[in-house]
Amino acid sequence: LLNRRYLQERMNEEVNRCKRYDSPMSFLMIDIDDFKSYNDLNGHQAGDQALQITAHCLKVALRSADVACRYGGEEFGILLPHTPLSEASVIAERMRQRVAETVYPHGKSQPIGGVTLSIGISTFHKNVDTPDRMIAAADRALYNAKRKGKNRIELHQERVPKERGR
């Protein structure tokens, strides 16, 4: 997989393209659920192997224009150019299912009985219009997926301010 720096460069390019051509773009922040316990129980070599298997599952689900990177630890970032939120949700679900259906060495020792993913999705729009804002929005959605029980996908929901005086 590509590195975080390359992802940042590509996101800058795509944000400029979105602004210029009013085209959609989405971003996925993906985390392997309970990865620390997997590593602690099975050792770092098994953890590295699980990361490689997961990276392969993610890459297989992507299209040629999509950009996947290891974001850090057990997190992955995926840029989906020209992709509205509805399409990004379908891609994310395909990834989540592929990982859940893949047999991992020692996967049965996981709390859910297998390796699973939590995924947060953000999309480019007027209030989420920079790479940092897209990443932060996807990260908040990922946090919500974890908080709601893991092995799920959450979309960044823009908070609409309440009108004052009404």
Q: What is the CATH number of the domain that holds 77?
A: 3.30.70.270
Asked, for residue 161, whether it belongs to a domain, the answer is no
Give 83's DSSP letter. Answer: -
Q: Strands 25-32, 153-155: parallel, antiparallel or unpaired by DSSP?
A: unpaired
Asked, for residue 163, whether it belongs to a domain, the answer is no
Asked, for residue 31, whether it belongs to a domain, the answer is yes
**What pLDDT, on a 0 to 100 scale, did the predictor assign at position 158?**
67
Asked, for residue 132, whether it belongs to a domain, the answer is yes
The residues assigned a catalytic role are 74
Asked, for residue 162, whether it belongs to a domain, the answer is no
- Within the chain, residue ranges assigned H as helices are 4-21, 35-42, 44-60, 85-101, 131-147
The 3-state DSSP class for residue 28 equals strand
State which H helix or E strand residue 118 sits in: strand 117-123
**What pLDDT, on a 0 to 100 scale, did the predictor assign at position 164?**
46
**What pLDDT, on a 0 to 100 scale, did the predictor assign at position 45?**
94
Asked, for residue 119, whether it belongs to a domain, the answer is yes
Q: Could you give the count of Cα atoms lying within 13 Å of 101 in the half-sphere of its Cβ?
A: 8
pTM score of the predicted model? 0.91
Q: How far apart are CA 140 and CA 90, in angstroms?
A: 19
**What pLDDT, on a 0 to 100 scale, did the predictor assign at position 140?**
97
2 phi/psi in degrees, rounded to 5: -75, 170
Check if the beta carbon of residue 79 is closer than 8 Å to that of residue 66: yes
Domain extent at residue 139: 4-155
Check if the beta carbon of residue 25 is closer than 8 Å to that of residue 79: yes
- Number of domains, the chain: 1
Asked, for residue 88, whether it belongs to a domain, the answer is yes
Angle between helix axes 85-101 and 44-60 (nearest 10 degrees) is 140
Asked, for residue 160, whether it belongs to a domain, the answer is no
What are the pLDDT tens digits along the chain (166 aa)?
788 999 999 999 999 999 999 999 999 999 999 999 899 999 999 999 999 999 999 999 999 999 999 999 899 999 999 999 999 999 999 999 999 999 988 777 777 778 999 999 999 998 899 999 999 999 999 999 999 999 999 999 765 444 444 4
